[in-house]
Amino acid sequence: MMRIPFSYIWRSLWARRLTTGLTIGGVALVVFVFAGVLMLARGLEATLVESGSPDNAIVLRRSATSELSSQVDRATADVLEADNGVARGAEGRPVLSREVVLVIDLYKKKSNALGNVSIRGVSPRALELRPGVHIVRGRPFQFGTHEVVVGKSIADQFKGVTLGAELAFGGDRWTVVGITDAGGTAFDSEIWGDADQFMQAFGRPVYSSLTFRLADAGHFDQLKTRLQADPRMQYVELKHERDYYKEQSQTLAMFIRTLGLVVTTIFSFGAMIGAMITMYAAVANRTVEVGTLRALGFRRRSVLGAFLLESVVLALVGGALGVALAALLSFARISVVNFQSFSEIGFGFALSPGVVRSALVFAVVMGVVGGFLPAVRAARLNIVNALRAS
């Protein structure tokens, strides 16, 4: 079977530069939106998942969906600290942090509206558990005092959150003594202080969670089985810290993807109609060419394939342009309320090979759907009638 050379397809596209450019632009816009939504969901997942360490485990009340709804008593913390499954640090002390997570309101800089902010009361081992959290300005807070450190995302977005400032919450005033950088993870959107001080201020008698470093990450399942067999630990559940944070991202990420899919589906109809109009116009303007190709011996399927390939090429070029534009979003960061914790979390757009692949496949689908009917029309043109059209 004779194949129509690609050079013919390329020259045809170049001869219709204006309509070709408009079609590419339409596809690029849709792919830009589609890729942007995927990057947003991917950025949220990366921010939360990277918050957890593969060497750490977290203990929560069984069936609790987040630390905010979890309760773990002091007796359970004492039992866990004595277990040999918990790693030991200096002086043989367990690398474990008793933590309480609460939500407070602060005013945003840009909108002057109240926003929910997570505060995390921690134990002295917290920074050892999370080596990715660094004090970049100021100093660490002192335990036993009303001092706090704030994540850089909070300092950037909320009013009055600066070194030396006093924040009012829990019926007390708390002095900001440090700004932390957690490498873009969820801890950038938190305020840290002494767990005992927070519990006293808010009248909370129990912890939200216990986070500890595993003595042997490979023996996690054995540790979990042993703790579940202890009657004192029946009401709690042990998870990998990374798995916990992955769960925290799923609801919001799914919402973003669903909303984005609805929007891009609507936009894609416009792009496919544009591609279809472009290809129908190409068929109408090249009736004699098609007739000549058929007279030279090119079969209907070759003509169909050539016109369909033109549409796919248009879509791929538009898709590549849309992805390139979406890549610029990598420099932007946004803040939204996480449905799981009901607090603000800052994160950026994350471009990944999976996002690029999905965006280009989406573009090709638009090209195939938009170009199929015009290609069929071109393939079905009668040779004699096509040649007489001149």
Q: Which pLDDT score is estimated for 290?
A: 55
| Mean pLDDT, residues 331-337 taken together | 76
Domain boundary (178, 200, 234) is at 234
Which carries the bigger pLDDT value, residue 146 or residue 377?
146
| Mean pLDDT, residues 345-358 taken together | 86
| Mean pLDDT, residues 292-298 taken together | 57
pLDDT tens track for 168-184: 999 999 999 999 999 88
Work out the percent of the chain whose per-residue pLDDT is above 90.
Answer: 38
Residue 135 is assigned to a structural domain of this protein: yes
pLDDT tens track for 240-287: 999 998 888 877 778 777 877 787 777 777 767 766 676 666 665 555
Residue 1 is assigned to a structural domain of this protein: no
Residue 369 is assigned to a structural domain of this protein: yes
pLDDT tens track for 32-57: 988 888 888 888 877 877 888 899 99
Domain that holds residue 19: 6-49+248-388
Q: Are residues 280 and 357 in the same domain?
A: yes
Residue keyed to tokens 């069984």: 62
Q: Using the predicted structure, report yes or no on whether residue 192 has a pLDDT greater than 80.
A: yes
- Alpha carbons within 13 angstroms on the beta-carbon side of residue 10 total 3
Q: Are residues 99 and 225 in the same domain?
A: yes
Residue 243 is assigned to a structural domain of this protein: no
Q: Using the predicted structure, report yes or no on whether residue 386 has a pLDDT greater than 50.
A: no
Residue 91 is assigned to a structural domain of this protein: yes
Domain boundary (234, 265, 287) is at 234
Q: Are residues 185 and 264 in the same domain?
A: no
Q: Are residues 23 and 87 in the same domain?
A: no
The 8 Å CB, 24+ separation contacts for 68-71 are 68/101, 68/102, 68/103, 68/208, 68/340, 68/341, 68/342, 68/343, 70/208, 70/209, 71/206, 71/207, 71/208
Q: Are residues 228 and 258 in the same domain?
A: no
Lowest mean pLDDT among 103-107, 116-120, 264-268: 264-268
Question: For residue 88, which amino acid is it?
Answer: R
Report CA-CA distances (Å) from 69 to 3, 103, 190, 264, 336: 65, 11, 17, 35, 20
Work out the percent of the chain whose per-residue pLDDT is above 70.
Answer: 80
Q: What is the C-alpha separation between 127 and 150, in angstroms, rounded? A: 13
Q: Are residues 378 and 318 in the same domain?
A: yes
Q: What is the C-alpha separation between 250 and 244, in angstroms, rounded? A: 10
Q: Are residues 15 and 108 in the same domain?
A: no
Q: What is the pTM of this model?
A: 0.76
Domain boundary (208, 234, 260) is at 234
Q: SS3 sequence, 133-169?
A: CEEEEECCCCCCCCEEEEEHHHHHHECCCCCCCEEEE
- Neighbouring residues of 390: CB distance < 8 A, sequence distance ≥ 6: 288
Q: Are residues 17 and 110 in the same domain?
A: no
Q: Using the predicted structure, report yes or no on whether residue 110 has a pLDDT greater than 80.
A: no
pLDDT tens track for 213-242: 999 988 899 999 988 888 889 999 999 999
* Mean predicted lDDT score pLDDT of the chain: 83
Q: Are residues 141 and 209 in the same domain?
A: yes
Residue 134 is assigned to a structural domain of this protein: yes
Residue 92 is assigned to a structural domain of this protein: yes
Q: Are residues 264 and 363 in the same domain?
A: yes
Residue 55 is assigned to a structural domain of this protein: no
Q: How many domains does the chain have?
A: 2
Q: Which pLDDT score is estimated for 2?
A: 47
Q: Are residues 40 and 158 in the same domain?
A: no
Q: Which pLDDT score is estimated for 71?
A: 95
Q: Are residues 92 and 21 in the same domain?
A: no
pLDDT tens track for 365-385: 888 877 777 666 666 655 555
